């Protein structure tokens, strides 16, 4: 039996935490601000329902074997007290996070734990504590390593597919290209994914992805030459009002996940001497949304 802590029990943490609870062979604890009684996950084919054990005080949980870290890139400092309590040299932190800087972002706060990057494939919407609508099949991609295969084994017997891959660099940059094709346009306009059907918006999204892919290739990702056209065209089949995580956060008045997405393209591009002006301008605009106006005049 593995002792598992789920840190960040939003849509993604709920979906993948619920499956471990359902297996009943792991000791799973949820690290939360407010307790709730059960997971209720609505999938396209069934409802996943299982009781949970919540803890609100980091001092009440000692080091665990596994941590599912499902907070967003910019929230890592917010969970430092939890990581100082539940992570240790014998722990593994599976980082279920958007972006391509999993190691760089989490390692300084890992408290000696091993950090395992994970790519999440699972569109979902959180309706309330533990209540999530999972919009399609959920899967995870991680490194093909001893630790990566051990992580995959946690989900043996569940409906979650975990695929270790020797080319994790390509997978994480493919995911980032997809995020950048959708999120910024919806956050800047306040509209659903159908906004990309406007030809000028489609051109904007395509330019963001082209820069992202260029930087990804410099990092060693094997990305096709037409990836920007393919990913942008794929957005046309989405429902007009379909959301993105950026749009959901915007509407909820929460900070937008800019620094880990467009910000990463800018930072890593600069390291390779690659100009990324569209991502730089967009990152500035998205970051400005996160700055609250304190003027009272």
The C-alpha atoms of residue 143 and residue 122 are separated, in whole angstroms, by 18
Q: Which helix (H) or strand (E) holds 28?
A: strand 27-31
At residue 31, the 3 state secondary structure works out as: strand
CB-CB contact of 9 with 70 (8 Å): yes
The C-alpha atoms of residue 165 and residue 116 are separated, in whole angstroms, by 13
A 10 A CB-CB count for 170 gives 18
The C-alpha atoms of residue 128 and residue 106 are separated, in whole angstroms, by 27
Edge-to-edge strand list for the sheet holding 47-51: 47-51, 38-42, 131-134, 124-128
- What is each CA distance from 242 to 5, 107, 247, in whole angstroms? 31, 34, 10
DSSP bridge partners of 164: 142
Residues acting as catalytic residues: 175
> Tokens in use for 186?
């919806």
> What DSSP designation does 65 have?
S
At residue 200, the 3 state secondary structure works out as: helix
> Tokens in use for 144?
């093909």
The C-alpha atoms of residue 109 and residue 82 are separated, in whole angstroms, by 10
At residue 167, the 3 state secondary structure works out as: coil
CB-CB contact of 114 with 91 (8 Å): yes
């Amino acid at each position: 039996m593995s002792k598992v802590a789920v840190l960040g029990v939003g849509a993604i943490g709920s979906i993948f935490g619920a499956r471990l609870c359902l297996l009943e062979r792991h000791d799973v604890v949820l690290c939360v601000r407010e307790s709730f009684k059960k997971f209720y996950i609505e999938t396209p084919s069934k409802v996943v329902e299982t009781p949970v054990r919540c803890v609100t005080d980091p001092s009440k949980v000692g080091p665990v074997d596994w941590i599912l870290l499902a907070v967003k890139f910019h929230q890592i400092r917010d969970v430092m007290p939890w990581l100082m309590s539940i992570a240790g040299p014998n722990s593994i932190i599976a980082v279920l996070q958007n972006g391509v800087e999993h190691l760089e972002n989490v390692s300084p706060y890992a408290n000696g734990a091993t950090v395992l990057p994970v790519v999440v494939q699972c569109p979902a919407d959180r309706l309330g504590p533990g209540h999530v609508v999972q919009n399609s099949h959920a899967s995870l991609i991680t490194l093909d390593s001893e630790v990566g295969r051990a992580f995959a084994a946690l989900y043996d017997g569940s409906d979650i597919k975990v695929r270790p891959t020797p080319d994790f660099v390509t997978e994480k940059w493919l995911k980032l290209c997809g995020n950048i094709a959708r999120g910024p346009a919806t956050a800047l306009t306040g509209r659903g994914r159908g906004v990309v059907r406007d030809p000028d918006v489609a051109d904007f999204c395509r330019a963001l992805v082209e820069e992202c892919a260029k930087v990804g290739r410099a990092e060693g990702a094997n990305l096709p030459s037409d990836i920007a056209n393919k990913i942008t065209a794929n957005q046309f089949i989405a429902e007009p009002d379909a959301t993105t995580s950026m749009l959901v956060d915007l509407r909820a008045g929460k900070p937008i996940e800019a620094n880990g997405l467009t910000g990463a393209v800018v930072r890593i591009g600069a390291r390779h001497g690659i100009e990324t002006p569209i991502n730089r301008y967009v990152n500035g605009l998205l970051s400005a949304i996160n700055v609250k106006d304190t003027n009272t005049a």
